[in-house]
Amino acid sequence: MTRYFLRRFATMAVTLLAISVLIFVVIKLPPGDFLTMRIQELMAEGDSAAAAKADFLRRAYGLDLPGWQQYLSWIGLWPRAGAYSGLLQGNFGWSFEYDLPVIDVVGDALGATLIVNLAALVFIHLLAIPLAVFTAVRRRGIVAEAITFLAYLGLATPSFLLALILLFYLNRWFGISIGGLVDPDLADAPFSLEKLGSITVHLIVPIVVIALASTAAMIRRMKANLLDELHKPYAVTARAKGLGPTRALLKYPFRMVLNPFVADIGNMLPGLISGSVLVSLVLSLPTVGPILVQALRMQDQYLAGFILLFVAVLTVVGMLIADLVLALIDPRIRFGK
């Protein structure tokens, strides 16, 4: 198991390096950069002092260097201003638009993003797995048909449209404050049970909206896989030997269909983050989605690069965790068969 972990960890490191190169190339594809455009604007306005400061930052952060040197400087493998200071050294860069270190711009948003999307991930599995099992076992019942119909609706409903509907009607009918992650009156208050309750209430709508499509998709896929396994010879034999229906289901077919869904954990979390950008804009959630959109629009390369790399890290770490869990529950993977 240790050798398997080390092998997967080495693969993860190489993958992250390749992803960082792709991220940097994509960010640098549009011509120019934030400071170059800013210098041109300031010179046109006649503000030579501010333009000189912007030009100083441009040279200090190596934006006048060739692209490959800029990348190595960003990573921390090329000296900048006589010292190595990049991602490997814990320096995530400078946001030129906000005129702040990147970590100060996204610090609170990273925590909010993880809270919202991890809660959505838990919600998906807690809701989808029992409903999928129920609809597979009771597939001809009225309740199962209703769940299947609702799953189709969940797949077909755009998340931003559902967010707008809930934003309007929950506030109109129930007076629930929608938007943000806490009531404005408690935003600057110290942590308390009242603030925790406010956060919990505000999380309900974002979690439902973000997780709806993924929940519906998981119900459909797991139901189809279970129906395929329930009629295989080993499942029929288990029931013929007198094994109870519930135990026969959970011990054999259910375990067989778990592998692809455990493997999906690595892809699901970053997918939720990227898919929740519009929802975050609609619901005014303080996540990294709106910040990323603005950073890409303004060519704030260090800010955009860090956020994209953060999502990439979540992807590869999630896939590593999924692989380790698969190795634990399926010996064939652990022994490389």
Please provide the DSSP assignment of 6-68 as one string: HHHHHHHHHHHHHHHHHHHHHHHSSSS-HHHHHHHHHHHHT-HHHHHHHHHHHHHTTTTS-HH
pLDDT tens figures, 78-121: 887 667 778 888 888 888 888 888 888 888 888 888 888 888 88
Average pLDDT, the chain: 79
Tens of pLDDT, residue by residue over 190-219, are: 777 777 777 777 788 888 888 888 888 888
Say what the pLDDT of residue 313 is.
Answer: 87
Quick one: three-class SS letters along 210-272? Answer: HHHHHHHHHHHHHHHHHHHHHCCHHHHHHHHCCCCHHHHHHHCHHHHHHHHHHHCHHHHHHHH
pLDDT of residue 43: 67
Residue in this structure with the two tokens 């909206």, named with its chain if needed: 209
Dihedral angle at the C-alpha atoms of 272, 276, 280, 282, nearest 10 degrees? -150
d(CA 284, CA 155): 23
What's the pLDDT tens digit per position in 186-195?
766 777 777 7
Give tens-digit pLDDT for 227-274: 888 878 888 888 788 777 778 787 778 877 877 777 777 677 777 777
Contacts of 222 (CB under 8 A, 6+ apart): 128, 129, 132, 133, 136, 257, 261
The predicted-structure confidence for 277-291, as pLDDT tens digits, reads as follows: 777 877 778 888 888
Average pLDDT over residues 122-142: 85
CB count within 10 Å of CB 13 equals 10
Identify the band that residue 178 occupies on the pLDDT scale cut at 50, 70 and 90.
low
User: Would you state the structure tokens that stand for residue 161, as one six-digit string?
Assistant: 């449209």
| CATH class belonging to 103-334 | mainly alpha
pLDDT at 159: 79
Distance from the Cα of residue 263 to its chain's centroid: 15
| Model confidence at 71: pLDDT above 80 | yes
Task: Label the pairing between strands 94-95 and 100-101.
Answer: antiparallel
Per-residue pLDDT band for 13 (boundaries 50, 70, 90) equals confident
> Please, which pLDDT band fits residue 184 given cuts at 50, 70 and 90?
low
Q: What is the mean pLDDT of residues 46-62?
A: 70
Neighbouring C-beta atoms of residue 321, cutoff 10 Å: 15
H-helix or E-strand containing 315? helix 301-329
Return the domain boundaries, the chain.
103-334
